[in-house]
Structure 1
Amino acid sequence: MELGFPASGRISGFRLARLLGEWRRRGARQGSADLAAAIRMLILDGRLPAGTRLPAEREMADALPVSRTMITAALDQLRAEGLVASRRGAGTWVSLPTGHLGIAPDTPLVGHSMVDFARAAPPAIPSTLAAFDAVRLRMPERLADHGYYEHGLPDLRQRIAARYEARGLPTSPEQILVTSGAQHALALVLRLLTGPGDRVLVEQPSYPNALDAIKAVSAIPVPVAMTETGWDLPGIAAALRQAAPRMAYLVVDFHNPTAHRMGAAERAELVELARRARTPLVVDETVVELDLDGDPLDGPPPVASFGEDLVITLGSASKSHWGGLRIGWIRATPEVVHRLVAGRTALDLGSAVLDQMVLAELLADPEPALAARRAQLADQRDVLMAGLREHCPRWRFRRPSGGLSVWCELDAPVSTRVAVVAQNHGIRLVPGSRFGAHGGFERWLRLPYVLPAEVLRDAVRRLGLVAATVSGTGVEGDAEVDVPVA
């Protein structure tokens, strides 16, 4: 759809002011630049979707409160960047930019000045291209049929099931439903288990896109705070009793964003708590293969080992192999899989055959490529942590044993301010508030280590300048940074 007019509703001045938070940082002279930077962050972070109509300038000025001159100047800057558009009689709305700071949104950022710390997604494993070549030779046999596989290709379902078997969880292909990524898998499960107004238990913090999916079906996330060491099982028990959620969504292997991992005894207790409350557990295993200190096959048993009838498991190739494949899966009982397939036809009729064939090829002998992936991520994790110790010594973090990111505790509640200032140093960050069911986490930042070591070193050096600027121990411009700034 071409955005010639606003299409996603209107945001009030009061709501915009709440989303912006403490946006001002450099005094009245720089106010318009600060405001533009803060609104830019909301747009790039997805909290102001394309098509959202912005408040009138007078309403915005009253809500913030600032002068209309400042509002006009900030919007002029955003128009020049293509982030907002205006038309007489229709007002101003969020637009779809063709690029940002001279870099197109989908351009790979390695080799460019803008470093993307917003996505915890590594590039494709090297064997992906060879898998495409191998699959190309077998395509003629597939082209002769209809191409619709609501359950997924039989070969791929068999190999996914075999991976569960290798982890000690007996699984048949009939228990596997192939989806177009883990987010699609979660959407299917939410449609099956929940309705408008139903409650869904989640961790606090949690994966932002999962929270968005829950809200998209008009369900209500019920957050249970994580502790410094992991999950608060008594808190989960209390929430199950008091809120009576229709389902629980949890990431127990290298939790996103804290990177905690739940032990076997805790998994058994979790399933018992859910059984007493008759609450299905939806367990996201997207990063289970990324055990950087050990072998995933020797890790804690899958949660489904403790409750076959109560646990629905989500998986994905996006982090272990490549997000561009857009292949995920659901493991559940055959009855639940049948119900999911029956409901799926309202959304789609199956995932891309070519992508499924490529993943099946990669899973024919998965260990060599996965071992290389884990070794590279472990090296990049260590580079990121060393850089943080050197350039951001006042930030605290624990060493993740797996996953894709470090969860950093800042020295003050300034996560959003850091994300805004970081743009001027060529770094895209997601504020900690995005990981909370209802905001918060202004003392926290998630920093992925999915980029090459040399990019990480430079990015953390820049991040040190940002930290100094925001904390007041330095001023922006103390060091020269070769970044194109809008």
Structure 2
Amino acid sequence: MTEPARLRDTVTARALSERLDMAAVLGRGGPMYAGLARDLQRLVEDGAVAADARMPSERVLARVLGVSRVTVASAYRSLREQGVLTSVHGAGTFVVPRSDARPWGRLNAGEGPDVLEFVNAAPPPSAFLGAAYEAAARRLASTAAHSGYVPGGVEHLREAIARRYTMRGLPTTADQILVTAGATDAIHAVVEALVGPGNRVLVEHPTYPGALETMRAVGATCVPVPLDPGDPGAFVDTADRAARQHDPVLAYLMPDHANPSGSVLPTDTRRRLAATLHRHGVVTLVDEVAVDLDLDGAGALEPFGAPVPDRAVVTVGSLSKSVWGGLRLGWVRADAAHLARIATGYSHRQLSVSLIDQYAALELLADYEDVVAHRCAQLRAGRDALTAALARSVPSWRFRSPAGGLSVWCTLPSGQRSTDLVDRARERGLALAPGTRFGTGYAFDDCQRIPFTRTPEEIEDAVAVLAELMGGASAGPRERVPSRAVPDAVV
């Protein structure tokens, strides 16, 4: 435990006592310390107690709970033996962060025709991609004298991106846009500029793993705010309380078709949330990578942050989901002051984004409504195939059919763990990302993300393996699996 204790959140005994189910602890039978240890572990796994949190002292927690100090000491000892807690002489007892050293930290199952790759929610190349690159190559041929470096991005492309924001109800000019090499690159640029070591960042929970990793890379602490897709309105009050308690400098949100839950914040909710975070002086980083993936035709909602000043919200987007992940083209939209900081830092590591990719993006944006319609038709077929197969083959799994996005977020039956399921699925040639990748600490080991970005036939194969692992009929041999490798990152 090398991180300075002063950078850690401390969980108070009073806060723990309000969340512990003492009636269950006392009523389970067996040693009281064992029941207390189980309930403390539940809070850690649910994310109610954050990774790296400092636990209250044995003496103080015992007094607040009205139990003996021996009971608390024994519960702490049990959790230390299980690797959930660790004690540092002179500093206290801390929650041990879940390590990514296990195989699912950086998945690498090798190559072979027997791998069903369902780790990443990444669609195949758009049918419009080839023509766009052909046109981009022709445009490139006419710029023989061009140096190839365009800091900030090609002006016509920035204008096209700005027009789309304006059409959606968020007036934007080209000088508010910075072109980046993808959305993750954009997130990294924003976080590097606005977040420093020891700062806290609010994140919806569950959330995109890449964002969590970016926050940790700059030394920030992620403060998880639970998001229930069935009750998104409650998120505002929880975020308000978290902002008061933790004094974050940034909040990272995916208000449209969130990864992995697929949740969408209604217009009134996003307005209240934007105003609440602005009131606390928190800049909101809005990830719109899936904003266009509206599968049920509900229509685009007002962009997050439209009613608040531009300085309150920084937005990132890309073409990775609507077009292809191999087209490394994203952007940042921000007010002039924030964009200047972000662009200055970005220029230190990226002189310019590929010119041919920018020209291709310009062609794609010219026909973007058709591009999106084609992609949504593909994803709608995949979603419908997946939800039907899950309901038929693993009826004990609970899930909501998302109105958009790229994946279904499932709750596993009681006693089942995603990390175990991932290990067993790998042996059957099915590669998955465990639920724990989408949260902090030990959260979401009872959840499983299943992307619907593959073909309906591949989806049926994957669910057949899951059904077998859950005790159903044997899936049998598979004759067709196009995936050749399991990528390292989870998108």
For Structure 1 versus Structure 2, the TM-score category normalised by the shorter chain is 0.7 to 0.9
Amino acid at match of 2:130: L
Shift in Å at residue 424 of structure 1?
A: 1.6
Task: Give, in whole Å, the separation in 1 of the partners of 2:146 and 2:178.
Answer: 20
Amino acid at match of 2:121: A
Q: 1:46 aligns with which of 95, 100, 106?
A: 106
Amino acid at match of 1:242: Q
Q: SS in structure 1 opposite 2:225?
A: strand
- CA deviation profile, 1:17-51 (whole Å, cap 9, x unmatched): 859xxxxxxxxxxxxxxxxxxx999335328xxxx
Task: Give, in whole Å, the separation in 2 of the partners of 1:236 and 1:273.
Answer: 8
Asked if structure 2 preserves the Cα contact closer than 8 Å seen for 1:267 and 1:306, the reply is no
After TM superposition, the structure 1 = structure 2 runs for residues 55-204 of structure 1, keeping only pairs within 5 Å, are 100=110, 102-103=111-112, 112-204=113-205
Aligned match of 2:477: 481
Q: 2:409 aligns with which of 398, 407, 410?
A: 407
Q: SS in structure 1 opposite 2:419?
A: helix
- CA deviation profile, 1:105-126 (whole Å, cap 9, x unmatched): xxxxxxx331111000101110
Alignment identity in percent? 38
Q: 2:320 aligns with which of 318, 321, 334?
A: 318
Asked if structure 2 preserves the Cα contact closer than 8 Å seen for 1:425 and 1:481, the reply is no
Task: Give, in whole Å, the separation in 2 of the partners of 1:375 and 1:174.
Answer: 34
Amino acid at match of 2:106: G
Aligned match of 1:364: 366
Q: SS in structure 1 opposite 2:143?
A: helix
Q: SS in structure 1 opposite 2:151?
A: coil
Aligned match of 2:338: 336
Task: Give, in whole Å, the separation in 2 of the partners of 1:229 and 1:114.
Answer: 37
Q: 1:284 aligns with which of 287, 306, 316?
A: 287
Aligned match of 2:50: none
Q: Normalization by structure 2: what TM-score?
A: 0.74
Q: SS in structure 2 opposite 1:408?
A: strand
Q: SS in structure 2 opposite 1:419?
A: helix
Q: SS in structure 1 opposite 2:311?
A: coil
Shift in Å at residue 479 of structure 1?
A: 5.3
Asked if structure 2 preserves the Cα contact closer than 8 Å seen for 1:251 and 1:284, the reply is yes
Task: Give, in whole Å, the separation in 2 of the partners of 1:283 and 1:260.
Answer: 14
Amino acid at match of 1:421: R
**Is 1:433 aligned with 2:436?**
yes
Amino acid at match of 2:257: F
Task: Give, in whole Å, the separation in 2 of the partners of 1:125 and 1:245.
Answer: 39
Q: 2:395 aligns with which of 389, 393, 396?
A: 393
Task: Give, in whole Å, the separation in 2 of the partners of 1:425 and 1:179.
Answer: 38
Q: SS in structure 2 opposite 1:270?
A: helix
Amino acid at match of 2:167: A
Give the direction of change, closer, same or farther, for the CA distance of 1:221–1:391 in structure 2 (3 Å limit): same
Task: Give, in whole Å, the separation in 2 of the partners of 1:425 and 1:381.
Answer: 23
Q: SS in structure 2 opposite 1:123?
A: coil
Shift in Å at residue 204 of structure 1?
A: 1.1
**Is 1:464 aligned with 2:487?**
no
Q: 1:348 aligns with which of 345, 350, 360?
A: 350
Asked if structure 2 preserves the Cα contact closer than 8 Å seen for 1:41 and 1:420, the reply is no
Amino acid at match of 2:437: R
Amino acid at match of 1:331: R
Amino acid at match of 2:477: V
Aligned match of 2:305: 304
Give the direction of change, closer, same or farther, for the CA distance of 1:18–1:316 in structure 2 (3 Å limit): farther
Aligned match of 2:12: none
Segments of 4+ moved more than 6 angstroms: none
Shift in Å at residue 396 of structure 1?
A: 0.7
Aligned match of 1:56: none
Task: Give, in whole Å, the separation in 2 of the partners of 1:159 and 1:479.
Answer: 48
Asked if structure 1 preserves the Cα contact closer than 8 Å seen for 2:262 and 2:407, the reply is yes
Q: SS in structure 1 opposite 2:224?
A: strand
Shift in Å at residue 438 of structure 1?
A: 1.5
Q: SS in structure 1 opposite 2:261?
A: coil
Task: Output the aligned Cα RMSD.
Answer: 2.3
Task: Give, in whole Å, the separation in 2 of the partners of 1:339 and 1:114.
Answer: 43
**With CA pairs under 8 Å and 6+ residues apart, which has the higher RCO, 1 or 2?**
2
Asked if structure 2 preserves the Cα contact closer than 8 Å seen for 1:207 and 1:257, the reply is yes
Give the direction of change, closer, same or farther, for the CA distance of 1:187–1:479 in structure 2 (3 Å limit): closer
Aligned match of 1:424: 427
Give the direction of change, closer, same or farther, for the CA distance of 1:409–1:44 in structure 2 (3 Å limit): closer
Q: 1:244 aligns with which of 247, 260, 277?
A: 247
Aligned match of 2:384: 382
Shift in Å at residue 266 of structure 1?
A: 0.8
Asked if structure 1 preserves the Cα contact closer than 8 Å seen for 2:292 and 2:322, the reply is yes
**Greater CA deviation, 206-215 or 407-416?**
407-416
Asked if structure 1 preserves the Cα contact closer than 8 Å seen for 2:434 and 2:445, the reply is yes
Q: SS in structure 2 opposite 1:132?
A: helix
Q: SS in structure 2 opposite 1:232?
A: helix
**Is 1:265 aligned with 2:261?**
no
Asked if structure 1 preserves the Cα contact closer than 8 Å seen for 2:253 and 2:286, the reply is yes
**Greater CA deviation, 199-208 or 300-309?**
300-309
Amino acid at match of 1:280: V
Q: SS in structure 1 opposite 2:293?
A: coil
Asked if structure 2 preserves the Cα contact closer than 8 Å seen for 1:120 and 1:405, the reply is yes
Amino acid at match of 1:382: D
Task: Give, in whole Å, the separation in 2 of the partners of 1:393 and 1:18.
Answer: 33
Aligned match of 1:62: none
Amino acid at match of 1:186: I
Task: Give, in whole Å, the separation in 2 of the partners of 1:18 and 1:288.
Answer: 40
Shift in Å at residue 345 of structure 1?
A: 2.0
Task: Give, in whole Å, the separation in 2 of the partners of 1:253 and 1:140.
Answer: 38
